[in-house]
Structure 1
Amino acid sequence: MGKHHALKLYDYHVWANKKFFERLKELPKDIYDREIQSVFSSIAKALVHIYMTDTIWLGVMQENSMEEVQASIAIAQEKTKDKSLEEMEKLFQSLSEEYQKFLNNVSDLDKEITPVHPKFGRLDTHFSELVQHVVNHGTYHRGNLTAMIRQQGYSSVSNDYVFYLYDSTKK
């Protein structure tokens, strides 16, 4: 049996984020935090949003209390405040290592999990579905990043799942 689909999806999420960091480092430095009229007011803010959301969902999957998740948000806000592109890349790398360590130690990725949100209530779901959510969220906002890069006059980077599949078969 091969790797669980949820782990493969998460690997794609990491791969696609790395593709963006590589592309952004090739572009003029000022596009990273330049204020623009778009979905987010800067590429930096879009990256912070992805990072914050990934942080929240890792806490949920670890079955942390809502208080612990809220505390992790405050820590992540402090960690990401006024960070350079290179510093954000390191934060993403570190968070992906935390995810991979956690996910690789979950004995059953199809196991039920029941997080309780203060506003939305109880959710009966599975680890694999939450991983899918993290990946979908990242994909959605990488689309925003692509538009924001193009809006500033530059080409973005191909990061569709199928390109990840092609790339991962070369290894």
Structure 2
Amino acid sequence: MIKMFQYNWMVREEWFTWCEQVSTEELLRTRIGGAGSILYTLYHIADVECSWIRSIQGMPDIPENYASCRTLEQVRAISADRINETKKFLHTWSDAFDTEIVTASWMKDPFTKGEILRHVIAHGIHHTGQLSIWARELGLQPVSANFIGRGLF
């Protein structure tokens, strides 16, 4: 599972680099579908990942206000910080945790820790797919979604 998180983080960083060629206005423009804008989507991916990982650990969510971090550099820094926190947790993971039950503070229903981890992976992949659509709408080549060839194995 760690390899899938590493893949998501690698792709996310490539999207941050991709964003450097796009104006701030385009990064913030409200778009149809997805989480709303390119920059907010990248923020959302990092924020959701951190929220769920913290819930698995029984830790409180980090209240973050997207309105206070509306630059590429700020969102990239938040993402890096959240990745470091998640990495530390993943290195403690045991398959025995897969079936442990957790109820996140913002949810009514409980889920297993394994279910949550897999959701976080799928969530990141889902939203980077939306970024690819928006990249093509801008006439730009999107970041590759290939897992193969990234040196993860």
Is 2:18 aligned against 1:30? no
Task: Sort the Cα spacing of 1:139 and 1:23 in 2 relative to 1 into closer, same or farther, 3 A.
Answer: same
Partner SS state of residue 52, structure 1: helix
Residue identity matched to 1:77: N
**The structure with more radius of gyration:** 1
Q: Specify the alignment match of 1:81 in structure 2.
A: 68
Q: Specify the alignment match of 1:52 in structure 2.
A: 47
- 1:13 is matched with which residue: 4, 8, 13? 8
Partner SS state of residue 161, structure 1: coil
Contact 1:12 1:161 in 2 (8 A): yes
**Aligned-residue offset at 1:30:** 3.0
How does 1:94-113 map onto structure 2 within 5 Å? 94-106=81-93, 108-111=94-97, 112-113=99-100
5+ residue gaps, structure 2: none
Q: TM-score, normalised by structure 1?
A: 0.76
- 1:137 is matched with which residue: 93, 105, 123? 123
Q: Specify the alignment match of 1:151 in structure 2.
A: 137
Q: Which has a greater percent of helix?
A: 1
Q: Specify the alignment match of 1:39 in structure 2.
A: 34
Identity rate, percent: 20
Which stretches of structure 1, 4 residues or more, deviate above 6 A after TM superposition?
Answer: none
Residue identity matched to 1:22: T
Q: Specify the alignment match of 1:3 in structure 2.
A: none
Is 2:103 aligned against 1:116? yes
Q: How many residues align?
A: 151
Q: TM-score, normalised by structure 2?
A: 0.84
**Aligned-residue offset at 1:62:** 1.0
